[in-house]
Amino acid sequence: MIGLTAHPESTLLDRVLETLREGPRPAATLCHRVLGLPGAPEAVCERIAVALLGADPRVRRSADGSWGLVPEAQGSPLLEECAFAVVDVETTGMRAGVSDRITEIAVVVVHGSRREVVFDSLINPGRPIPPAICAITRITNDMVRDAPDFADVADHVLAALAGRVFVAHNARFDWGFVSAELRRARDIALDGPQLCTVRLARRLVKGVRSCGLDNLTQHFGFANPARHRAAGDALVTADLLQHLLRLARAEGAATLQDLSAIAVRRTGGGRRKRRAAPTAPRADSAPEGPA
C-alpha cells in the first residue's frame, strides 16, 4: 500500500528520486547520468544502487533489474485499502521551521469503519507558550513542564504515521510542524501522500459559509468536547474525513488518486487567505463543549 515513509535527507538521493519520477531506470543509467560516474562498470553501479536505494521504502527493484518508485509500480490503491493517519498538532505559534514548536500531538487512524486514537501526548516545546496561545488551547506551561520532548516520542509518531495517508484540517500546517520536528529530532524527512480536509470539504460540501473546523462540526452535528486540543480535533477531523469519503464515493471516486484529484480541482471562487494559527471561536463556530 502507498503511505507515509521517513527517510534520511540527501541531496544525492533527491537527484536520483527526481529521475525515477520520470520512470524506472537501470543502475548503470543512474550512476552514469545522475551520479556523475560515467565510467563506472555495471557491477559497481549495481552495488552503488543497492547501497543508495536498497533500504528506501519508496523505491523497489523490478525483475529486469531496473529501479523505480513504488507508487509508479503499484498504481493508486482503492480507498477501502487505504489507512489514513489523521493528525492534529497544537503549537506555540505559526513558524514551524523557525522558532515555534509542537505542544501536543495526536494521531487517529481511520481505516474503513475503524476510528481509533493511536497516539496522543503533550510535548515539552522547550520554550514558553505565549499567553494568547494558552488561552485558546488551554495548554499551560505547567502542563508541559514534565511532558516528553518531541525527540522522546519521535519513534512513536513515526510508527503511527508509517504506511498511512497523512490527513489534517489545513494539512500544510500540521505536516510542516511534524516534518520540522522529525528533522530536528532524527534528521529524517517525511515523504508520501497527504490530504487536506479543508480542500476536500470546499469541493464536496455544499451550502456551508466556511469550511473551518468549527463550522463543519456544527453543520454535520459532530461532537467535539475538546476543541483546540490535539485528540479532540483529530477525532472530529476523522469524523469529517469519513463523511467526505462517502461524498467522494458518491461522485465516483474509487482510488486515492481520485480523491487527491478532487482535492486539487478548480472551483468557481477565488482563493481566500487563511490563518493557520489557533484562533478564537468565530460567531458561526460550534460552541465549546458537548453539542
Q: What is the pLDDT of residue 264?
A: 87
Q: What is the pLDDT of residue 69?
A: 79
The amino acid at 94: M
**Is residue 208 within 8 Å of residue 220, measured between CB atoms?**
no
Structural domains in the chain?
A: 8-74 (1.10.10), 79-264 (3.30.420.10)
* Interstrand relation of 67-69 and 84-91 (parallel, antiparallel or unpaired): unpaired
d(CA 284, CA 47): 61
* Interstrand relation of 188-191 and 5-8 (parallel, antiparallel or unpaired): antiparallel
d(CA 107, CA 88): 7
d(CA 28, CA 50): 12
Q: What is the pLDDT of residue 35?
A: 86
Q: What is the pLDDT of residue 36?
A: 85
Q: What is the pLDDT of residue 240?
A: 98
How confident is the model over 215-236, as pLDDT tens digits? 999 999 999 999 999 999 999 9
Q: What is the pLDDT of residue 98?
A: 87
- Residue identified by cell 527517510 is 7
Q: What is the pLDDT of residue 268?
A: 57
Q: What is the pLDDT of residue 119?
A: 98
Which residues have a catalytic role annotated?
A: 228
Q: Count CB-CB contacts under 10 A for residue 250.
A: 9
Concatenated DSSP letters of the chain:
---BEEEE--HHHHHHHHHHTT--B-HHHIIIIISS-TT--HHHHHHHHHHHHTT-TTEEE-TTS-EEEHHHHH-PPBGGG--EEEEEEEESSS-TTTT--EEEEEEEEEETTEEEEEEEEE---SSPPPHHHHHHH---HHHHTTSPPHHHHHHHHHHHHBTSEEEETTHHHHHHHHHHHHHHHHSEEEES-EEEHHHHHHHH--S-S---HHHHHHHHT---TTTTSHHHHHHHHHHHHHHHHHHHHHTT--BHHHHHHHHHS--SSPP-----S--PPPTTSPPSS--
How confident is the model over 110-128, as pLDDT tens digits? 999 899 999 999 999 999 9
Q: What is the pLDDT of residue 52?
A: 86
Q: Can you give the pTM of this predicted structure?
A: 0.72
Spans of the chain, pLDDT less than 50: 1, 72-73, 270-277, 279-291
Contacts of residue 37, Cβ cutoff 8 Å, sequence gap at least 6? 31, 44, 45, 48
Angle between helices 197-204 and 256-264 (to 10 degrees): 80
Q: What is the pLDDT of residue 281?
A: 43
Q: What is the pLDDT of residue 176?
A: 96
Give strand pairing partners of 116.
109
d(CA 154, CA 201): 30
d(CA 198, CA 262): 12
d(CA 115, CA 243): 12
Q: Which three cell numbers stand for residue 30?
A: 543512474
